[in-house]
Chains A and B, each alone.
Chain A
Amino acid sequence: MAAALSRENIVGFLARQGILVAFALFIIGFTIANDRFLDPDNVLGVIRSSAILGMMALGVTFVVISGNLDLSVGSMMSFSTIVVLDLHDKIGPTLAIPAMFGMTLALGAFIGFLVGYLKLNSLIVTLGMLSAIHGLTLTYSGGKNMDIDDKAGTWFDVFGQGEIVGIPVPILIFALLAAILGIALAKTPFGRKVYAVGGNGTAATFSGIRRARVVFTCYLISAFCVATAGLIQAGRSLGSQNTVGQGMELEVLAAVILGGASLMGGAGTIFRTVIGVLILGFIQNGLLLVGLQFYVQYVVTWIIIILAVWLDIAGKRGRLWSPIA
């Protein structure tokens, strides 16, 4: 197997597994730079703080593989958080949670209707919804922060702060959601249809797949993930600003792209999105541990995304640079 180490093979390997290689290198690098990096408490802390972002990224993975974008998840998460906190005091947590899920799913259904059935461009629709939902949240809250009155007397904090056998609840919920959605995407007929619709929507239609329905469902899944993230966010501090999710849509998208999902649709997996989420989380944590300013992470994150995108296209054309696209 003399050909095993040819240039094409190396480029191909990097393009396929580059994300894992990069992840390993970062872990090794930060471990050498700071011995607290691999400390179990630190690791658990990173995963825990990545869980909210991660849940949103799971849903957005479906949307991206189906060939669309969802930039509304950040402001939708603010909406869910504010709504559930407000309803907590009005109708009690047991009713507040399903009510909040219902309202968030309604927003997802609306976006899914516009993008799936009316076939409007998802960038325009969700960028508009980013702003519209923010307005909706502010209207709902009257612009004020939302707090639970009796913070000591509620079990609601279990979602944000609870632990089961020593593992924080946010991590458990993230893991559970990732497992369910990962299997749904990889193993069910619906998952197959998501790939087909994103890979070639016309061919999917010609195969009898009801494309609008698939896209609609992807946005519902995204909204469900956002609602779950909002629940955890609300349970974490039992109070929240209106802008808690602001800017997260880009971080979520970054994690999904880092994981290797194609913005053209048709490619990506839940497992790789989880890796993307963890990379973002560990890099941000590592940069802090080695003493760099918090702001540096924005630049580093961007560089990593560019690298990921480059490797992605390099893998598709079999070389790092090509005169033809």
Chain B
Amino acid sequence: MSGQTPALRLEGIVKTFPGVRALDDVSFDVLPGEVHALMGENGAGKSTLMKVLGGIYQPDAGRIFVGEEPVVMTSPLQAKGLGIVFIHQELSLAEELTVAENVFLGELPRKSFGRVDWARLHARTDEILGKLRVGFDARARVGDLSVANQQMVEIARALTVDAKAVIFDEPTASLTDAEKVVLFDVIADLRRDGVGIIYISHRMEEIFRITDRISVLRDGQHRGTVKTAETDEEAVTQLMIGRKLDLSRNVSHHELGDVALEVRNLSCGELFQDVTFEVRRGEVVGFYGLVGAGRTEIAETLFGLRDPSAGEIRLDGEAVRIHSPHDAIARGISLVPEDRKGQGLVLGMNCRDNMTLPQVDDLKAGPFVADGAEIAIFDQYRDRLDIRTPGWKQQVGNLSGGNQQKIVLGKWLSMHPSVLIVDEPTRGIDVGSKAEIHNLIRDLAAQGYAVIVISSEMPEVLHVSDRIVAMFSGRVNRTFTSDEVTEDNLIQAISGLSNDKVA
């Protein structure tokens, strides 16, 4: 492949923000027909690099080449005109419009008098959809499609231009395994057509499955580019975090305490039925199941966001009724919610205020919020969780995903809950932070917290849980101890197969 002109090349890119050197002399290229992974922890500079590439930021130094041509990027639209197309993690589709209208948004084919040429629009869209081998057509309303199919619409949009390079930013974050296979086929097709592909992801397994080269950023610097065939996960991880990572499985070595939370025959309408389980102090109970199996809904019920239709919740042996998060918190239940930005944080607020929000009524000096006490709490959890931020005044919205999640964790740990529920603790978070959060969860159990971890990632559940509750379609299908669980029987249990069900 050497000697070929790259489809896209960034050379010596420097970008500084007040107080931060976000990109420090970063060079990167992608050849036609190559899949080049861009990896790095959150905050390593990946997003900044892509924003420079899309013209959202102007670099302080460095140049961008499309083919042989040096270019100055001013907007994502201009980049698209040059054949550089972005497919974002967060979708930007008009849900009320049809697939065809979305795909050709802003450039609908016209007939005379400016009328839209619907026949041509639908034909061209169906042609592109045909390449993608999807199960919907040009006339479908985007809002009716699954998230995976919406992602396909984004990709179809990219294919309307003669793309030279396509950037996939965490494309599989919300896809099922089957849907991923389709996506990888599409990527294979693109590469066969000579398109250069930049693939940003935290998921090693995918990186090793589909990429040709891997480039790693750390602290805004380019730490190396390696051929995928000549490296392994450990080496790449080490490049990313600058140290070795302990991925060994964690099993509890401490004594379990009393039952902190006991749930008996809990039901909530159609969402889940007859759910029974208990969590002891010092124990991590993992909830695993497909999306829609009712896991998050159980957490929301325990946290007072939903009223149960039947059943009983006992805390330390006492039957309780929880009508609101306010009640739940007063009873010592904390929930680290699934949607960090939507439910976990007030993005426009600073780090400290976010962290102390649930206890702001208790941190008083006279009628006022006690500044010093607040800063003390922030400092304590910043150190304990290794939160990287210039200071407590920083707006949470400016932090990387991993650091944001740590703020949410700090917020709930500082409440010293007796039951801590963590829903998708590491969604969209880099490997380094992920391992830190897993270790933290184990530490918490060792300190006597009763912890519930809800996750869609099997390795995560297997890694942190003492026991695993497998859910299928709103019911507990089986409960495993860490000794009896295997990947196989866990998958069977969440798919509704229960031939070896144990009472």
Q: Evaluate contact between A3 and B16: CB separation under 8 angstroms.
A: yes
Task: Say yes or no: is A207 at the interface (Cβ < 8 Å to chain B).
Answer: yes
User: Given A3-B18, A192-B369, A266-B348, A324 and B76 touching (CB < 8 A)?
Assistant: yes
B357: chain A residues within 8 A (beta carbon): 192, 196, 204, 207, 209
B337: chain A residues within 8 A (beta carbon): 206
Q: Evaluate contact between B353 and A192: CB separation under 8 angstroms.
A: yes
Docked CA distance A310–B305 (Å): 38
Q: Evaluate contact between B369 and A187: CB separation under 8 angstroms.
A: yes
The answer, among B303, B326, B346, B364, for a CB contact under 8 Å with A210, is B326
Task: Say yes or no: is A131 at the interface (Cβ < 8 Å to chain B).
Answer: no
With both chains docked as a complex, state the minimum distance between the C-beta of B383 and any C-beta of chain A, in angstroms: 22
- Per-position contact with B for A206-227: 1 when CB-CB < 8 Å, else 0? 1111100000000000000000
B305: chain A residues within 8 A (beta carbon): 205-206
Q: Evaluate contact between B342 and A208: CB separation under 8 angstroms.
A: no
B342 (CB) vs chain A CBs: closest residue:
A202
Q: Evaluate contact between B364 and A189: CB separation under 8 angstroms.
A: yes
With both chains docked as a complex, state the minimum distance between the C-beta of B73 and any C-beta of chain A, in angstroms: 12
Task: Say yes or no: is A193 at the interface (Cβ < 8 Å to chain B).
Answer: yes
With both chains docked as a complex, state the minimum distance between the C-beta of B42 and any C-beta of chain A, in angstroms: 20
Task: Say yes or no: is B411 at the interface (Cβ < 8 Å to chain A).
Answer: yes
- Per-position contact with A for B110-125: 1 when CB-CB < 8 Å, else 0? 0000000000000000
B127: chain A residues within 8 A (beta carbon): none
Q: Evaluate contact between B349 and A196: CB separation under 8 angstroms.
A: yes
A324: chain B residues within 8 A (beta carbon): 75-76
Task: Say yes or no: is A277 at the interface (Cβ < 8 Å to chain B).
Answer: no
With both chains docked as a complex, state the minimum distance between the C-beta of A185 and any C-beta of chain B, in angstroms: 11
Docked CA distance A266–B345 (Å): 13
Q: Evaluate contact between B77 and A323: CB separation under 8 angstroms.
A: yes
The answer, among A187, A196, A208, for a CB contact under 8 Å with B325, is A208
B335: chain A residues within 8 A (beta carbon): 206
Instruction: Give the most central of B328, B330, B346: most A CB within 10 Å.
Output: B346
Task: Say yes or no: is A195 at the interface (Cβ < 8 Å to chain B).
Answer: yes
Docked CA distance A193–B349 (Å): 11
With both chains docked as a complex, state the minimum distance between the C-beta of A267 and any C-beta of chain B, in angstroms: 6
Q: Evaluate contact between A205 and B325: CB separation under 8 angstroms.
A: yes
With both chains docked as a complex, state the minimum distance between the C-beta of A265 and any C-beta of chain B, in angstroms: 9
A266: chain B residues within 8 A (beta carbon): 346, 348-349
A3: chain B residues within 8 A (beta carbon): 16, 18
Q: Evaluate contact between B368 and A323: CB separation under 8 angstroms.
A: no
- Per-position contact with B for A227-266: 1 when CB-CB < 8 Å, else 0? 0000000000000000000000000000000000000001
Q: Evaluate contact between B342 and A207: CB separation under 8 angstroms.
A: no
A264 (CB) vs chain B CBs: closest residue:
B348
User: Given A189-B369, A200-B347, A204-B357, A210 and B76 touching (CB < 8 A)?
Assistant: no
A187: chain B residues within 8 A (beta carbon): 367-369
A7 (CB) vs chain B CBs: closest residue:
B58
The answer, among B328, B346, B348, for a CB contact under 8 Å with A208, is B328
Task: Say yes or no: is A179 at the interface (Cβ < 8 Å to chain B).
Answer: no
Q: Evaluate contact between A195 and B411: CB separation under 8 angstroms.
A: no
B367: chain A residues within 8 A (beta carbon): 187-188
User: Given A188-B368, A192-B369, A323-B75, A206 and B344 touching (CB < 8 A)?
Assistant: yes
Q: Evaluate contact between B329 and A203: CB separation under 8 angstroms.
A: no
B347: chain A residues within 8 A (beta carbon): 199-200
B300 (CB) vs chain A CBs: closest residue:
A206
Task: Say yes or no: is B361 at the interface (Cβ < 8 Å to chain A).
Answer: yes
B330 (CB) vs chain A CBs: closest residue:
A208
A206: chain B residues within 8 A (beta carbon): 303, 305, 325, 335, 337, 343-344
Instruction: Give the most central of A189, A192, A202: most B CB within 10 Å.
Output: A189
B325: chain A residues within 8 A (beta carbon): 205-208
Q: A192-B357, A207-B411 are in contact. List 20 more A-B contacts (CB 8 A).
A: A3-B16, A188-B368, A189-B364, A192-B360, A192-B369, A196-B349, A199-B347, A200-B347, A202-B343, A203-B345, A206-B303, A206-B343, A207-B357, A208-B324, A208-B330, A209-B326, A266-B346, A266-B348, A323-B75, A324-B76
